[in-house]
Amino acid sequence: MNIRVFSILRGINRHIKRIRRERAGEIMSPVRRIEFVSPPKERVCAMTFDDGPTAAPCLPTGGTVSPGAAPGLTARLLDVLKQHGATATFDVVGTTAENYPDVKGAPHTHFVFGTKYDHYACFEQDALAGALAQPALIRRMVEEGHEIANHGYRHRIFGPEYFVYRKRVFQKNLGEVTADLQKLHDLIKEISGYEIKLARPPHYVDRIGRFGRDTAYTAFARMGYQYMAASADGGGWFPTKGDYDADVRAMVSPLEEMLKRDPESLNGKIIFQKDGYNMSMQSPVADALGLQLKLLGEYGYRVVGVEELTRLSPFEDVARDDPCIEAVRGLDSAGYAIGFKNNTFKPNDPVTEEQLAAMCTPRREYNAKRRAVRQVMQPEEIRRFIAERFGDCGAVRGTARRDAVMAAWAIIRERGSSKSMI
């Protein structure tokens, strides 16, 4: 697809996503789409890398990938992160070696990695990338304090995507998607002992199967994951400008301009990067990452993984000086479904009995498809549920959600265990 047409479609898609975000703000959910969070006290941003790990060589020019070449791209990124004292979330795949038969697409397009499927590190070089082929890189990530997220064992899209990836083979149903996610989850745990808590669907395609009755949120709820999105683009995945140095500058300049306009502009944001080649089979990220981290350091930023960022500030709309921030952090860390699907908490809204019941429900017991607790609990059940936790509910009835979450957290601390809320 022409890049200009793709850019127009991306703009339309952003508008559609804004509408969906507004609607998602009406649904309390165990799975939240985390794009950014309310700025923490210090300047902190998260960085994510998709599609690795890869032992494919860093390529300043196009050419045939040599399996014996070294050092590999992921190792280079880890070296640079270590040099700058930064950690990140690596959104990894298992292997794309099963994604055949297939045909290689045209260079400089979205199909350069494959027409029907994706292939990492590149077409017919699947053995260079993925956790299955590169367990040592997974272990190194964990040992050096990085986080790992689930990007699908085979990196197959969850459902049809008719604009850009219309030729792609997609997964048929929720069972196939969750089995694929579980396979990677188990592999990462076997390799490194790491327990995955975040996921990002391949190419951000949320619908599952042709009819979309289930979505990524349903699958992630089954897995106990949060939906890791992003709010800033580190670049490095578009086709080459024809000059490698220009490609590197194109990854650094947008961040530099944002920070010059507003030094706080990236505080609480999640930056998207690619642990792999761009559409021209080059890896400008290998040289741009160090420049990006140096720039962020000059503006006083600490670069962390998404899990660490959300421990500092879980929601978009709970400010760092809000009286309920400790309660929000505590209940969220303890595993309760206290927020809305669009990662808002709405601290000033009046709390309803249904919402209060939901806030007292552990995420592992909460069905993501339920739009409201009232659908599964009768009014008398809700009142009994609340009474067991809040007595006559006088401390929270008719108050703001801020006060409700503080009351719930006070009960947990008084009883000394989150289990007493379950």
What type of residue is 27?
A: I
As a whole number, mean pLDDT of residues 272-278 equals 97
Question: What percent of the chain has a predicted confidence (pLDDT) above 70?
Answer: 82
**Torsion of Cα atoms, 139 then 153 then 285 then 167, to 10°:** 170
As a whole number, mean pLDDT of residues 42-59 equals 97
As a whole number, mean pLDDT of residues 397-415 equals 79
As a whole number, mean pLDDT of residues 93-117 equals 96
pLDDT of residue 151: 98
Spatial separation of the C-alpha atoms in residues 411 and 388, rounded to whole Å: 11
Place of tokens 């507003």: 262
- pLDDT surpassing 80 at residue 335: yes
As a whole number, mean pLDDT of residues 271-277 equals 98
Question: Between 212 and 216, whose confidence is greater?
Answer: 216
- pLDDT surpassing 80 at residue 360: no
pLDDT band of residue 13 (cuts 50, 70, 90) is low
| Of the candidates 65, 34, 74, 55, the residue with the CA atom closest to the CA atom of residue 273 | 74
pLDDT band of residue 419 (cuts 50, 70, 90) is very low
Spatial separation of the C-alpha atoms in residues 206 and 216, rounded to whole Å: 5
Question: Between 299 and 19, whose confidence is greater?
Answer: 299
User: Could you count the other beta carbons within 10 Å of the beta carbon of residue 50?
Assistant: 23
Residue 244 CB burial class (10 angstroms; 0-12, 13-18, ≥19):
middle
pLDDT of residue 243: 93
8 Å CB contact between 277 and 122:
yes
Question: Between 150 and 387, whose confidence is greater?
Answer: 150
Least confident window among 18-27, 44-53, 288-297, 329-338: 18-27
SS (H, E, C) the chain: CCHHHHHHHHHHHHHHHHHHHHHHCCCECCCCEECECCCCCCCEEEEEEECCCECCECCCCCCCCCCCCCCEHHHHHHHHHHHCCCCCEEEECCCCCCCCCCCCCCCCCCCCCCCCCCCCCCCCCHHHECCCCCHHHHHHHHHCCCEEEECCCCCCCCCCCCCCCCCCCCCCCHHHHHHHHHHHHHHHHHHHCCCCCEECCHHHCCEECCCCCEEHHHHHHHHCCEEECCCEECCCCCCCCCCHHHHHHHHHHHHHHHHHHCCCCCCCEEEEEECCCCCCCCCCHHHHHHHHHHHHHHCCCEEECHHHHHHHCCCCCCCCCCCCHHHHHHHHHCCECCCECCCCCCCCCECCHHHHHHHCCEHHHCCCCCCCHHHCCCHHHHHHHHHHHHCCCCCCCCCEHHHHHHHHHHHHHHHCCHHHHC
Domain boundaries, the chain: 39-308, 320-421
Question: Between 374 and 297, whose confidence is greater?
Answer: 297
pLDDT of residue 354: 74
pLDDT of residue 416: 59
As a whole number, mean pLDDT of residues 38-59 equals 96
| Of the candidates 410, 334, 301, the residue with the CA atom closest to the CA atom of residue 47 | 301
- pLDDT surpassing 60 at residue 375: no
pLDDT band of residue 332 (cuts 50, 70, 90) is very high
Question: Between 216 and 8, whose confidence is greater?
Answer: 216
The token duo for 153 is: 């064992």
Reported as a single tens digit per residue, the pLDDT across 54-63 is 999 999 754 4
pLDDT of residue 17: 59
Least confident window among 140-144, 274-278, 356-360: 356-360
The token duo for 371 is: 């739009």
- pLDDT surpassing 70 at residue 175: yes
Question: Between 361 and 334, whose confidence is greater?
Answer: 334
Q: Is domain 39-308 classified as CATH 2.60.20.30?
A: no
pLDDT band of residue 41 (cuts 50, 70, 90) is very high
